[in-house]
Amino acid sequence: MRPAALFLTAWGLALFTGCKDPEPVDPAAAIVATAYGETLTVGDLLAEMPTRLSVADSAVWADRLIADWQQRRTVVHLAETALPEPERDVEREVRRYREALYIHAYEDRYLRDNLDTVVKVAELKAFLDEQPDLFRLEEPLFRARWMVFPDDTEFPRDLRDWTKQLASDDPELLSVLSSRCSDAGLPFDLDAERWYSWEELGAVVPLDPRKTARLQNARRVSKITWPADTAAGRPADQRALLLITDRLDAGDVTPVERVADRVSELILHRRRNRTLATMRQQAVDAAWAEAALTKASPDDTP
């Protein structure tokens, strides 16, 4: 038993020992405080006591809890005696709150057992087709192939060959280029499947902001050279090749892969509501079938 618990138990024993009744009872039943006919016992304190309290701390904690309990009981008594009768009738609200707790707990359990939480890509796309205005782009997005050369190095002598392969749609040529980039240790992306914002693309490719419009609208491979500028925090020359393969403008529908999590949440929320609505209706139908429900008709009214 924890030291603090031993302290409270000993307290309870002391209280019983001091009583006239010679027969010992459970120490937890010892009364430590009263308020308007209600009692607070050692057992009540033990039930609320935090773990790992020292004996000294447990005494301070017990005094504070007793004071809080007596204050609450006093205010409750004041409210019960001062409020007019209609305002003291809280049973209806208590019942509604209790019912809400039951329903919430049951529905949570029902959803855990019955809600399908798998959302397929086709469902994501269908939702976007249904609700395109919920996910309009606020800025352009780009698909691109790119590669970045080491700082302070010149372009390779066979740059034309690299450029030709980067611009090609031939899977074999792109595979060869991928191997060349890997062998040279270059950062690259040749799949052109990911959608980047211009800021995101600038995090992996050196994009001179003075040339943004030209780079965004280029229809061929851009040869990027961004000279060093120590004042701007660029201590080395940077070089890269960039090919914009696709673009979405502000106002277009956001690609599904960029909003998949948000769309999934909306789909699951709708699915959750439908699952619960179906459960409730089935429960009512079953109750009628079991004759657990009745409803008076106008003809039954005397």
Question: Domains of the chain: which residue ranges?
Answer: 3-88, 90-131+256-293, 137-248
> Is the Cα dihedral 276, 277, 282, 283 positive or negative?
positive
- Token pair listed for 227: 């000279």
Q: Residue 79 is which amino acid? A: A
Which residues contact residue 61 at a Cβ distance below 8 angstroms, ignoring those fewer than 6 apart? 4, 49, 50, 53
57-63-67 Cα angle (round to 5): 145
Residue whose C-alpha is closest to residue 207's, from 234, 180, 186, 168:
234
pLDDT given at position 213: 94
Residue 234: DSSP 8-state: B
pLDDT given at position 261: 96
Q: Where are the beta strands (DSSP E) in the chain?
A: 31-35, 38-41, 141-149, 188-189, 196-197, 222-226, 238-248
Around Cβ 142, how many Cβ atoms within 10 Å?
20
pLDDT given at position 234: 86
If 0-12 CB within 10 Å is exposed, 13-18 middle and 19+ buried, where does residue 300 land?
exposed
**Residue in the structure block whose two tokens are 């709708």:** 270
pLDDT given at position 125: 95
Residue whose C-alpha is closest to residue 30's, from 22, 39, 54:
39
What distance in Å separates the CA atoms of residue 127 and residue 265, rounded to the nearest whole number?
A: 11
Strand 238-248 and strand 141-149: the pairing is antiparallel
What distance in Å separates the CA atoms of residue 114 and residue 106, rounded to the nearest whole number?
A: 12
Q: What is the dihedral of CA 104, 107, 111, 113, to 10 degrees?
A: 120
Residue 58: DSSP 8-state: H
pLDDT given at position 70: 95
pTM exceeding 0.85: no
What distance in Å separates the CA atoms of residue 294 and residue 285, rounded to the nearest whole number?
A: 12
Tens digit of each residue's pLDDT, the chain (302 residues): 455 555 555 555 455 555 555 555 677 888 889 999 999 998 898 888 887 778 788 888 888 999 999 999 999 999 989 988 888 788 888 999 999 999 999 999 999 999 999 999 999 999 999 999 999 999 999 999 999 999 999 999 999 999 999 999 999 999 999 999 999 999 999 999 999 999 999 999 999 999 999 999 988 999 999 999 988 888 999 999 999 999 999 999 999 999 999 999 999 999 999 999 999 999 999 999 999 999 887 766 55
pLDDT given at position 302: 57
Residue whose C-alpha is closest to residue 49's, from 34, 71, 73, 32:
32
- Token pair listed for 148: 């970045």
pLDDT given at position 9: 57
Half-sphere exposure of 167 (CA within 13 A, CB side): 12
pLDDT given at position 122: 96
